[in-house]
Amino acid sequence: MPTPPRRLIDLQNWMTNAIIAETTLGSVEWITPSTQRGSDDRLSTYLRDFWPRCTDSLAEDFPRTAEILDAQWESTVKNYIRQLPTMGFSLYHLGDNFPNFLQSMGVSDLLVQLASMEKANVTAEISSIHSINTLSADTPLILQPHCTLVSIEFEVESLPKLVQTDPVPLIIFQSDYNPKIESLDPLEALFLNQFITPTCLSDAYDRMERSVSDDSMDTVAEFIDDWMSRATSKFWIMRKDPQ
Amino acid sequence: MGNRSVSGFGIGLRPIHYGDFFNNPSDVDFVEIISENFMLDGGRAHAILAEVAEIVPVIPHGVSLSIGSSDDIDWDYLNRLKRLVRAINPPWVSDHLCWSRHHDLYMHNLLPVPQTPDVAVFISEKARIIQDYLEVPLLLENVSSYVTYTDSTMTEWDFLSEIVSTANCYILLDINNVVVSGYNHGFNPIDYITALPRDRVKQHHLAGYRVKDNFILDSHDNAVSDPVWELYRESIQFFDSIPVVLERDDSIPPWNELIHELTLAKKIYANATTPIN
């Protein structure tokens, strides 16, 4: 990698800070005025561009969260970008840390769940789907990248009001290139949660055995047999290292 | 140049026009895509791209290479771009002569660089590394800009020419951007295009701008402006027959309207190159 000129680094340090902080301080040192515009006025064209691009892009990805935050949306986004700047080249990744940020801000759990659900929609839209091929009991498996498991405790029909309800486990995944949501029965949710980290089928079975009562163990075995027979059509789990 | 030749007139293909394109593929000679939209891991864009590339040549045009950034090259980005290049076999790839990333933070904007000899050397070296890695010619596009820097000691056209000549890469000359920056910085657009090395200019962009109170904004949200058509007419005298892309990124009109505008570009080209008996 060639060495960047010192003045280039200094200029980009200054201009990045100016844009993020929305200040024209220092513009006279770096920017030549034109016959029609002063240095600060010229810089302001870029200052006006950055934040609307961020707030609009995130509002597209988190429409219900933005609707609920309403007047606080803009300041929330600004705090988020300033504290947890995203490093992705695509605006699709701008909200990668947004649910975690909301959680750290102490907003209601229900709002964090909603934001997680909306982030899962984006993930489903842009992620790849892998074929499963053959599986054995000791094959390390993992949830496919387009799938997100969430548990929500609000009524979707009542949005934008967040009305508390019993927890409902969901999976959000890609189907025909669109995000799709399905509710999961408790056993299936328990099973799929094993594969958030790489896990062999035999280990998943053992863990599930420990999680259910003795008289449900036959049910677990039957469930896993049945689920695995349909696994290739579900595209929800995959080998840890797809071939 | 690259593996698949491109000539004639194309558009920047946006999702809103996928259906129209498949219904009327002969309306365009080729298409340009925003590279980054096809560099994600999966999704609809991947499936669409394979179908489009079966029909016409596809040129990836990026917005996040950030070649003017003082940061190191983003190798993850470049790997993804290379995968895209291998998938569609384009004649070249293009991006902007600008910076849009600093300390790994993406600004999602095309920020101009100071035009100095040492920055030209720095960017040339990066361009050579990138072009070698991609194994396909790299075209750098002149950006519209709203600031000039106190550090700058070169004209934009000398700066651009120096970089592409040193790096042995090429120019995507955006006619609209020359008009916009010419107005904003007070230079004559003709001086710009006549100073460029002719053999390095491999593609044109045409687009529309918006006039503000005391500057021009490169908005890409309306029809090609008259001064841009004028400069395009002039540019035909200086450059050989090179591919032209009509760009629209906001307030995107119906397909037929865009194709009508493309036809206008073809007419201007035909009139400018028809010998007068």
The domains of chain B are located at 9-273
- Per-residue model confidence (pLDDT) at position B153: 98
- For chain B, give the percent of residues with pLDDT over 70: 98
Sign of CA dihedral B172, B178, B180, B184: positive
Whether chain A has a CB inside 8 Å of the CB on B125: the answer is yes
Question: Is A5–B119 a contact, with Cβ atoms under 8 angstroms apart?
Answer: yes
CATH code for the part of the protein at B9-273: 3.20.20.150
Who wins on pLDDT, A68 or A86? A68
Question: What is the C-alpha separation between B247 and B209, in angstroms, rounded?
Answer: 11
- Per-residue model confidence (pLDDT) at position B163: 98
> Coil, strand or helix: which one is A129?
coil
- For chain B, give the percent of residues with pLDDT over 90: 92
- What confidence tens digit (pLDDT) does each residue in B163-198 have? 999 999 999 999 999 999 999 999 999 999 999 999
Structure-token pair, residue B51: 């179908």
Who wins on pLDDT, A224 or A193? A193
Interface A-B, measured as beta-carbon pairs within 8 A, has a size of 129
Q: What is the mean pLDDT of residues A167-182?
A: 95
Of A5, A36, A57, the CB nearest to B215: A36
- Per-residue model confidence (pLDDT) at position B2: 47
Please list every residue in chain B whose beta carbon sits closer than 8 Å to the beta carbon of residue A85.
Answer: 105
Please list every residue in chain A whose beta carbon sits closer than 8 Å to the beta carbon of residue B72.
Answer: 1
Question: Is B111–A86 a contact, with Cβ atoms under 8 angstroms apart?
Answer: no
pTM over 0.90: yes
- Per-residue model confidence (pLDDT) at position A136: 75
Residue A147: half-sphere exposure toward Cβ, Cα within 13 Å: 22
Whether chain A has a CB inside 8 Å of the CB on B64: the answer is yes
Q: Prior bond to A169 cis, omega within 30?
A: no
Q: How many residues does chain B have?
A: 277
Helices within B186-253 (DSSP H only): 189-195, 226-238
Q: What is the mean pLDDT of residues A31-59?
A: 96
How close B110 comes to chain A (CA, Å)?
9
- Per-residue model confidence (pLDDT) at position B277: 58
Is the pLDDT assigned to residue A193 strictly greater than 50? yes
Please list every residue in chain B whose beta carbon sits closer than 8 Å to the beta carbon of residue A2.
Answer: 121-122, 125-126
Question: Is B109–A50 a contact, with Cβ atoms under 8 angstroms apart?
Answer: yes
B33 forms beta bridges with: B60
Please list every residue in chain A whose beta carbon sits closer than 8 Å to the beta carbon of residue B119.
Answer: 5, 8
Tokens 């120019």 — which residue?
A: B171
ipTM: 0.95
Whether chain A has a CB inside 8 Å of the CB on B150: the answer is yes
- For chain A, give the percent of residues with pLDDT over 70: 98
Is the pLDDT assigned to residue A213 strictly greater than 80? no
Structure-token pair, residue A29: 């040192």
Buried/exposed code over B90-117 (b: 16+ C-beta within 10 A; e: otherwise): bbbbbbbbbbbbbeebbbbebbbbbbbe
Q: What is the mean pLDDT of residues B21-46?
A: 95
Q: What is the mean pLDDT of residues A125-132?
A: 89
User: Chain A neighbours among B 216-235 (CB < 8 Å)?
Assistant: 217
How close A193 comes to chain B (CA, Å)?
23
Who wins on pLDDT, A133 or A4? A4
Is the pLDDT assigned to residue A88 strictly greater than 90? no
In what order do the strands lie in the sheet containing A148-154?
Answer: A148-154, A164-175, A178-183
Whether chain A has a CB inside 8 Å of the CB on B22: the answer is no
Question: What is the C-alpha separation between A41 and A13, in angstroms, rounded?
Answer: 19
Q: What is the mean pLDDT of residues B117-138?
A: 98
Question: What is the C-alpha separation between B109 and B63, in angstroms, rounded?
Answer: 8
Of B42, B106, B152, the CB nearest to A88: B106
Question: What is the C-alpha separation between A131 and A233, in angstroms, rounded?
Answer: 9
